[in-house]
Structure 1
Amino acid sequence: MFIYLYVFIYKKIFLLQLSPLFSSQQRMFCLDNLICACVYFLADYFREGNSDLEDSELRFATCQSLQKQVKSETEQIEEELNEQLFDNLVSFLRRSHSAFQEKTTEWTWRTKSREIPTAALVLGVNVTDHDFTFRSLSEVLQNNVTPYIALLEAKDCPGIKNLMQKLLGQLMNCCIDVGSSEEEDYEQVSHTRVRCSMTSLINWYESATKRTDSETPGKKRTSSRHWQSPPVVVIFKDMESFTTKVLQDFVVISSQHIGEFPLVLIFGIATSPMIIHSLLPHSVSSLLCIELFQSLSCKDHLSTIIDKVLLTTQFPLKLSEKVLQVLINIFLYHDFSVQNFIKGFQLCIVEHFHSNPLSILCCQLEEAKRRVNSLSHNQCENVRRLPSFRRYVESQVSEKQIALLTADSSLKEAVRKLLEDLNVYHENYFPILRCLHVFTSSLPKYPLGKQIRELHCACLENRVWETEEYESSLQLARMLNKSDLVTMLQKCVEILVSSPGREFDEIVERLKEFLTQFQKLEETYQERDESVSPQKELQKKTNLYNLQKTLLELKESRRSKKLTKFEMLRFEVVDYIDSLVRRYLVPADHKTLHEIVYFNTASVLREHLNAAPRIALHTALNNPYSYLKSEALKSDGGSISNKAPDICIAYKLHLECGRLINLVDWLEAFSTVVTAAEGPTADVASSDQVDDVIHARFIRAVSELELLGFIKPSKQKTDHVARLTWGGC
């Protein structure tokens, strides 16, 4: 039985590794596996655990389809964001390789100075995203530059010997499509014990390039997409984690052979390029010809993902304000990982389709309309239970209310209309949101936030026009100068013209009218300036009396508070934008059937991503019935069940002790509880054997409690252990 408890405990620990207490690499690994496990159990639940098998199969298929679309879209976005960086790296490799290939003066000078071409790739502190970046970089280089690429990690290279073994192992097993005889040669090389040295690497490179160059025309030649005598690229994925001795030895050894084969180093850096000079002394760093490359900021990366994935109508599933805030807070305060944010969004998709029976309608509009026709009576009842639909029914006349609550056909017709209205709402919401962001993102102190995600959360939370921040933004917008105002209007026109909304033609025409009026005002001011210029020249020659008279006139005009034509037009523009906000940026939870397409269970997401390790472990050890659901494990109050797993018995006994626990007393209490569970048997073993078995079980339970961090050895007394936790949990 205790085996099952361990499974549950470590499963919980597995989920809890997503907690900020653990590293970002552990969080990423656990989140990937968590989503895979959720999808696996989701399929099992849909196909076997649900009475309505047809809808369950369709929900699962819709969930899988949406997952694939999100994954494909995010990968494409990341490739586009990294495209410029990869192009720069390829250009750097091309320059270094051409110098080697043509044996130019630069290469001769580099050979004499023993400098190794090195790219310092600064990727930022979002370490969990580096794996995807290096994987994409390797694919780009393998497809266009060279097949000889090795990715090294510090955990695999504690010494120079391990580094050379890893380097040769990866290079000799490069995926190259060559003839059958050459494949046999490579297999023979891979199974033969090779002396790991730079000489072996050079000999292997010369042999590999000769084989490629001597291929017959009839054979398939993969190297046609590679450069002639392609370079050997060695990527240090986590440069900061390598020890100084390993890096220093490798650089010194490689520099001595740089003239014999084209070697290029790529350092993956998470902090600052200065780490190279911190890890390597000047005598070693001077052997590197370093060029710096900077990747896109992780915050800009996240903004692009949110803008192109969440703030569009491309994907039917939307996130509520609280759910989106949970994901953003994890990003900003824990790991800065865009990959973790994407995985969190995928987890939201799984949870939504698992927990919401009406998620069958969370698809594209035309498909959703077709699915409405096939809704069962139970699904129609689920629609009637939605809070937003109840509000909609209460707003109708009595005859309409009766039809919606009793006739499924009337309900389906209303659902089709409401789904269409919800789709139109989203088509109008996102463009107007972008227009509002154009006006508020450049205001002083950013009352509604600098990023569009902040403005989006504010609009989802409540009526944004009722907040103090919005009023402050309007007041600041009413003081914008003409050039800024015209630029903002032009951006709004571009946004609305490229948007699929049905009602934007009239809005675009109105904004263009404002632009025309501003243009006319500018022409009028220019004419006035030309006519007034002679008068100004005359005033320059007048005496002090005329100057004082002019100042008095200015003061009187300010007292009268008469607005100029520009100020009136500016007020009119701001008021028009305000009317658009009030019309189109209504919070999503005010729309009928929003529950179908919005995932709003933030508590479930927070439980998976920000779990509490201590509470979970205490629950599992103190009350194993909550996980195992075995009737034999039920106990009254604080009593200790004699059928509980050993670790649970030891844990509950240790709760009764003080700061120091006597191991002898603990063992006696443990033995008393365990022997009470076994009872008399027909074939009784000797008491010594029983004591040895109980002693072994006790030692294992105590060791596991020490591993979990509940106790530790005490230096005060040799036969005591110190308790590390206090309280009920």
Structure 2
Amino acid sequence: MSTCSVSKGCFVFKPKSKKRKTSSAADYFSEGNNDSEDSGLRFDTCQLLWKQIKCETEELQDDLNKKLFDSLIRYLRQSHSDFKEKKTEWACRMKSNEVPTAALVLGVNVTDHDLTFKGLSEVLQDEVTPFVVSLRSKECQGIKQLMQKLMTRLMGCHVDVDSSEEEEPSVISPNRIRCSVTFLTDWYRNVTRKTDIGTSCQKGASPSRHWESPPVVVIFKDMESFTTKVLQDFIIISSQCMCEFPLVLIFGIATSPMIIHKLLPHSVSSMLCIELFQSLSCKEHLAKVIDKLILTSQFPFKLGEKVLQVLINIFLYHDFSVQNFIKGFQLSLLEHFYSHPLSVLCCEFQEARKRVKCLSPSQCENIRRLTSFRRFVESQASNKQTVLLTDDSCLKETVQTLLQDLHTYHKNYFPILRCLHAFMSSLPKYPLGKQIRELHCACLEKRVWETEEYESAIQLLLFVCFRMLAKDELVAILEKCVEIIASSSATHLENSAKKLEEYLDQFKKFEEANDDQAETVTSLKEIQKKTDLYHLQKTLLEMKESRRFKKLSKFEMLRFEVVDFIDSLVRNHLVPAEMQTLHEVMYFSTTNTLREHLNAAPRIALHTALNSPYFYLKNEALKSDVGCIPNTAPDICIAYKLHLECGRLINLVDWLEAFSTVIIAAENQNSTIKDQMDDIIHARFIRAVSELEFLGFIKPTKQKTDHVARLTWGNC
């Protein structure tokens, strides 16, 4: 745009109206990605795969909670029946001091409790009562706030409101609610007087599924965090109105049920009729999740040994949170599809074959750069190597075959892994680990049969375990192995399953117990013939020598054959995944990215941000040499770098003078303006020092009034 005018003037050019472009998740997925080819297809594949995984985890969570929720509902039904049986006033007085209370011990994985309480509230509202209220300690600092939260949320359950005077309490504004037991009992009596309580209290709920005179359930999600005075007052108030309406308390406990008696005196805890409920251990829950997501060939995406170990270590040593483990799995999935261009082939085998045929020349070159594929090419004949490196059509055919081999490897790997764990779990001291995830990590790391732990485990199987195991126990292990292989979809293991069934039939038909019994009786008769000590010792030594060099029985020979057969299956099918060609397509092994996102290091991040602000702000003006303080840096960065040059005690006057020198150099002002800016610089310095104190780098000290103490050491 230009203007032609002989006179001076001001020209206004209105910008063209542009519609704001909305960015989708797929756009963010491909934005900033150097390997943007097939990014849309990779994003769709990632979304579809995560949707399937999320569905599996939700089903698993529902199955694990079903037993706990059913037992809670049975307890509620029993307490509700006790309320309905109170016919006389005398019975009401006898029961009035007992408030039904369910102590729900969920474990120290506090971050997973919200999901459990959400599912519990939904089940109770669908099957038991519409009056379910969940409370947190931060919402209830006093008894007044607790009662107001309780009554407000109970009123919110009543959707279909009439204009009659008797139902006026249900439409009162929360700011005008009178927090009293009389008000609560009158409201409950008015609401339950309706014939169709399901329609009036919850939309979409079936009236027949709610109980008659449904109880009011109050859930204390974090019972340990509630103030003792608040709990005491609420329990005393609740015990006074038990004959008016049914009330049930649910305490969410993370530590131990004894916390109830530590927080409440005996006079108050005696008013509670406590029933203990224990949820599934977080370790057992993790084992179920790993079995469902990782130890299966259902999902093509796999975690490498180091990545899986990082997620397990975070779980065991940080939070015990299964949900955080699943989020880490999701992050690994997203990072794999975002960073690896060949992850477009990480899908079902039939779909992967179609995508291989449509690979571009650049994608073919990406395949040739893979370490596993180069190892495969080097093992081929020279003429075959030339064709694979130059001909894309031949490469695609080979890739299809290799992907089929990789899918077959997974179908065979997991059943054999479970069979090996069935044998190893019966060994003393668990040389290959007690959990199957430990055995899986050992198999991913290296050839497990070449480790000392595996050799010691085989020795235990041969010389200790099988001599100690009864025939029934050995038969049970073999039956479990046959069931594992039969339930898998591995067609290549049919012969192995038949072989195990043959061994199983031989064990069932064997009469080793009778032979051992006859041998024992004969030995006892020989010992009883000798009465003196000399002949007795001689006979025992002869029996010991004869057992050392005696020929193995048929039963023992059969046990040795079973061990050899299991060992051959391990060597054939439990090869490490890194030895498989094209394993990079399905396995995510980048642990650095995972650690940066999941293993928080706040001190390092703070030091990097304050010492080198360019690392985060990406402003060219902030670039500086090592050891220099940039003039254009934020105030807190200048104050931080200056405080690194001080000792344990920092003189505030000297610190301010140094700070002012840097600021004046940045402003490039003369002495007159410098005097006018002293107040502004002083205020900026105070703010920077306050921020450093808030971050924990310095603190006030009583040794010298004009000094502050430094809380860090070194340069970080």
Q: Same fold (TM over 0.5)?
A: yes
Matched, 1:609 2:591: no
Aligned to 2:111: 128
Residues 549 and 44 of structure 1, relative CA distance in 2, 3 Å threshold: same
Taking the aligned partners of 1:220 and 1:611, their CA distance within structure 2 comes to 44
Matched, 1:141 2:130: no
Matched, 1:706 2:693: yes
- 203-212 or 391-400, larger mean C-alpha shift: 203-212
Taking the aligned partners of 1:549 and 1:639, their CA distance within structure 2 comes to 90
Could you tell me which runs of 5 or more consecutive residues in structure 2 were left unpaired when the two chains were aligned: 1-22
| Among 695, 704, 707, the residue aligned to 2:682 | 695
Write out per-residue CA displacement over residues 51-98 of structure 1, whole angstroms, 9 at most, x where no aligned residue: 776611111111122222222211110110111000000000111112
Residue correspondence of structure 1 range 557-576 to structure 2 within 5 A? 557-576=546-565
Residues 41 and 472 of structure 1, relative CA distance in 2, 3 Å threshold: farther
Residue correspondence of structure 1 range 156-305 to structure 2 within 5 A? 156-174=139-157, 178=160, 188-190=171-173, 193-211=176-194, 213=196, 222-305=206-289
Shift of 1:199: 2.0
Residue correspondence of structure 1 range 662-673 to structure 2 within 5 A? 662-673=651-662
Aligned to 2:488: 499
| Among 340, 363, 375, the residue aligned to 1:379 | 363
Aligned to 1:73: 56
Aligned to 2:67: 84
Higher relative contact order (CA 8 A, sep 6+): 1
Aligned to 1:465: 449
Residues 493 and 712 of structure 1, relative CA distance in 2, 3 Å threshold: same
| Among 509, 513, 516, the residue aligned to 2:505 | 516
TM-score by length of 1: 0.88
Residues 321 and 462 of structure 1, relative CA distance in 2, 3 Å threshold: same
Shift of 1:715: 1.1
Aligned to 1:717: 704
Shift of 1:165: 1.3
Shift of 1:108: 2.7
Preserved CA contact (<8 Å) 1:99 1:106: no
Taking the aligned partners of 2:27 and 2:235, their CA distance within structure 1 comes to 53
User: How many correspondences in the alignment?
Assistant: 683
Structure 2 SS opposite 1:268: strand
Residues 507 and 107 of structure 1, relative CA distance in 2, 3 Å threshold: farther
Preserved CA contact (<8 Å) 2:342 2:363: yes
Paired AA for residue 526 in structure 1: N
| Among 87, 91, 97, the residue aligned to 1:114 | 97
Paired AA for residue 493 in structure 1: V
Preserved CA contact (<8 Å) 1:42 1:354: no
Shift of 1:45: 3.9
Matched, 1:638 2:627: yes
Residues 144 and 360 of structure 1, relative CA distance in 2, 3 Å threshold: same
Taking the aligned partners of 1:269 and 1:376, their CA distance within structure 2 comes to 57
Shift of 1:584: 0.3
Shift of 1:669: 1.4
Taking the aligned partners of 1:158 and 1:275, their CA distance within structure 2 comes to 19
Residues 128 and 191 of structure 1, relative CA distance in 2, 3 Å threshold: closer
Write out per-residue CA displacement over residues 658-701 of structure 1, whole angstroms, 9 at most, x where no aligned residue: 211111221121112112222249xx996565222212211111
Structure 1 SS opposite 2:179: coil
Aligned to 1:526: 514
Preserved CA contact (<8 Å) 1:231 1:262: yes
Taking the aligned partners of 2:595 and 2:549, their CA distance within structure 1 comes to 58
Structure 2 SS opposite 1:606: helix
- 491-500 or 545-554, larger mean C-alpha shift: 545-554
Shift of 1:202: 1.4
| Among 301, 306, 325, the residue aligned to 1:317 | 301
Shift of 1:590: 0.4
Aligned to 1:657: 646
Taking the aligned partners of 1:303 and 1:105, their CA distance within structure 2 comes to 52
Preserved CA contact (<8 Å) 1:212 1:223: no
Aligned to 1:404: 388
Taking the aligned partners of 1:107 and 1:99, their CA distance within structure 2 comes to 14
Preserved CA contact (<8 Å) 1:358 1:596: yes
Taking the aligned partners of 1:216 and 1:652, their CA distance within structure 2 comes to 66
Preserved CA contact (<8 Å) 2:486 2:497: yes
Structure 1 SS opposite 2:380: coil
Shift of 1:171: 1.4
Paired AA for residue 75 in structure 2: F
Q: RMSD of the TM alignment (CA)?
A: 2.7
- 699-708 or 459-468, larger mean C-alpha shift: 699-708
Taking the aligned partners of 1:464 and 1:544, their CA distance within structure 2 comes to 54
Aligned to 1:592: 581
Matched, 1:368 2:352: yes
Taking the aligned partners of 1:312 and 1:492, their CA distance within structure 2 comes to 16
Write out per-residue CA displacement over residues 614-641 of structure 1, whole angstroms, 9 at most, x where no aligned residue: 2221111111112222221111221111
Preserved CA contact (<8 Å) 2:103 2:257: yes
Write out per-residue CA displacement over residues 103-127 of structure 1, whole angstroms, 9 at most, x where no aligned residue: 3689936754520011011111111
Identity %, equivalent residues: 68
